[in-house]
Structure 1
Amino acid sequence: MKIEKLPYFIDLYETRSYTKTARNNYISQTSVTQFINSLEEELQVKLFDRTTLPIQPTAAGTRFYQDAKTLLRQYQRIKEGLAALDRNAALPVRLCYTSKIDLQILLPFVTGFKTRHPDVAVDVEQATFKEASKALWVRRCDAVIGIDFEPEYTGQLESLTMYQGEYQALVPEGHPLFGRDAIRTDELYHYPLVMLSPHVIGRSYEGMLEHARQDGYYPNIQRTANDMDGEMFLILTEGLIGFVPDNYFPQEYAGRMRRIPIEGSHHRFQLEMKYRSGENPSLDLFVEELAAYLKSE
């Protein structure tokens, strides 16, 4: 397998088109076909069902797609790391984050860090809550920022608490609770709710259900969404109540929805950075200065 050719497979999976894949990679369709055929022969599986148009990936193709993206990222970062060592330069800090909130907290610190250490590159990549733990486990990144990590991947890693807070209700204009300054738990659970899908937020979904049970209720989760934008859409179009951390509000929806505290609720969270120390000097420096920064805030 030639790792540098994996983009051919990834593009074919995403576009379902040999023509587009060839154009994206500046090669002929024949070259794409030959690579996919050789890949299937090497792996001893069929990656695509060619009896339909457009072609469709098989179950093996879908599984390999995820692994191929991880393998390609690792290969590219190995090359970057070796090139940095060859230049006697600092290794980059590779961070996986799960939401805009993570970057909002990091931004002022990273700006100062880069001023003090201009030779250290800080690269960021977004992952779902569920993917984040595994991303660190397979060394796709040096550290991950998120909530409710998967313990089988992160149980032995070091942790830095970045923020502790509570979830608040996100209520759309026109909802009976829109004008309230605070919402009681019995009022909250009287109405249908929307949450991010468990396929996206992983353990956090069960955590939210557990918090509701601790409040003494079972939530009426009417809809789930695959991302924050989708959740905002459902809140506004279907009049549902969502949840949002107390340190974040989508300003583009100001006036059309409000973030309202929930009285006496167990809906709390802890935003953490999980990492391995001793493997990347740049990361160790980054974590040391970040811990001092957070302590001073």
Structure 2
Amino acid sequence: MNLNSLKYFVDVVKLGSFTAAGKKNLVAQTSISQQIQQLENYFDCLLIDRSQNPVKPTKEGQVLFTESEKLLNQFQILEKNVRKSTTRKIRIQYSSIMDIQLLDKLLDKVTKKQDFNFEIEKVSLSNISKYLNQNKYDFAITFDSEFYQESDIETLTLDQGKYLAGVGSHHPFYNLSSLTMQQVYSSLLIMLSPQKIGKSYQLMLNRSLDKKYHPQISYLADDVESELLLIQQKKLLGFFPEHYPLNLNNNLIKLIPIVDNPHRYKIVLAYKQENLSQVGKLFLKAAKEIVP
């Protein structure tokens, strides 16, 4: 008898089917049947009434089902606690050049206080929240809009500011020192695609509509390089964070402040407290001591 046998048994009872339990566990139905048969041999009694459809546990099977659920739940807690106490690399995900530059500054300060091992990976912004919830990463550095309505994800603000309008040298707004919201939304716009910037896309649209502005989005770009090219070549207007690190002048792009601009951003260090290992908690403590 092993934990897998008990898990298969519990799934058969819950789903009422050997076939469904096999599909859930990605094993053949015959393997499920063999495991249940081994349990019945071990306890020397019938555990599943196969004459019914869906199948039902016998009286003895119901006792085993109740106790097996308790045992499996306890094992999950045990496994989680052991993993948390094991020293391992801190897994961090990011999505943009702004994120990685802020991460570089943060790690430079944190590692002066304590030595950590890191595993850092760039991922699509639209996946960051999902991966954090799935515990594929311990932390994420990105725009806070991606965690909108994610109440169990906590954040630490690393940078914040306003979005500016970006126009090319051939755009009629190029020589202006500021723009009104009316001017911005009278222009043809370009934005990064929802697949690229996740929830930020819809939130920006919602803020605009709340102010009774209707964006004329003519192009959706899959990357910043394409966006910069199209801004210049198609005389479009795009949006950039005011602390954007690229040298936009080399691309003949000018960033212009927007009067009464409702579009703000925050770049945050995001995490789920319940998923952090001991070393993850130490890193978070060090980061909080550094960030104002």
State the TM-score, normalizing by the size of structure 1: 0.65
Distance 2:27 2:231 in 1: 45
3-state SS, counterpart of residue 166 of structure 1: strand
Q: Quote the residue 2:95 is aligned against.
A: 98
Match of 2:225 in 1: 229
In structure 1, which of residues 281, 288, 294 is the aligned counterpart of residue 291 of structure 2? 294
Q: Give 3-state SS (helix, strand or coil) of 1:236's partner.
A: helix
Find the counterpart in structure 2 of residue 157 from structure 1.
153
Trace 1:79-98 onto structure 2 (pairs within 5 A).
85=86, 90-98=87-95
Instruction: Indicate whether 1:110 and 2:107 are aligned.
Output: yes
Q: Give SS of 1:149's match.
A: helix
1:247 counterpart residue number: 243
Which structure's relative contact order is higher, taking Cα pairs within 8 Å and 6+ residues apart? 2
Aligned counterpart, 1:183? 179
1:63 matched residue in structure 2: none
Question: Is 1:215–1:265's contact at 8 Å kept on the other side of the alignment?
Answer: no
Q: CA deviation at 1:123?
A: 2.0
How far the C-alpha of 1:145 sits from its partner, in A, is 2.0
- How far off is 1:291 after superposition? 2.0
Are the counterparts in 1 of residues 228 and 251 from structure 2 also a CA contact under 8 Å? no
When structure 1 is superposed on structure 2, of 279-288 and 163-172 the one drifting more is 279-288
RMSD over aligned CA atoms reads 2.5
CA contact (8 A) 1:130 1:150 kept: no
Contact 1:249–1:259 (Cα < 8 Å) also in 2:
no
> 1:294: how far off?
1.8
The structural deviation recorded for 1:229 is 1.7
SS for the counterpart of 2:135 is coil
Larger Rg: 2
Could you tell me which amino acid in structure 2 is paired with residue 232 of structure 1?
A: L
Deviation at 1:270, TM superposition (A): 2.2
AA at the equivalent of 2:202:
E
260, 264, 285: which one aligns with 2:260: 264
Work out whether residues 91 and 281 of structure 1, in 8 Å CA contact, stay in contact via their aligned partners in 2.
no
Contact between 2:191 and 2:238, CA under 8 Å: does it hold in 1? yes
1:277 aligns with 2:284: no
Q: 1:213 to 1:166 in 2, by over 3 A?
A: same
| Deviation readout 1:195-249 (Å, 9 max, x if unpaired) | 0111222211111112222333101000001122221121122121111111114
Amino acid at match of 2:185: Y
Alignment partner of 1:174 is 2:161: no
Give unmatched runs, 5+ long, in structure 2: 1-25, 29-81
Distance, in Å, in 2 between the alignment partners of 1:215 and 1:261 is 18
Following TM superposition, by how much is the alpha carbon of 1:110 offset from its aligned partner in structure 2, in angstroms? 0.7
Identity %: 26
Distance 2:277 2:175 in 1: 50
AA in 2 matched with 1:199: Q
Structure 2 CA distance for aligned equivalents of residues 238 and 199 of structure 1:
22
- Structure 1, gaps ≥5 residues long: 1-41, 45-80
CA deviation vs aligned residue, 1:156-207 (integer Å, no higher than 9, x gap) = 1222222221111111111111111111111111110100111222211111
- Pairwise CA distance, 1:150: 4.9
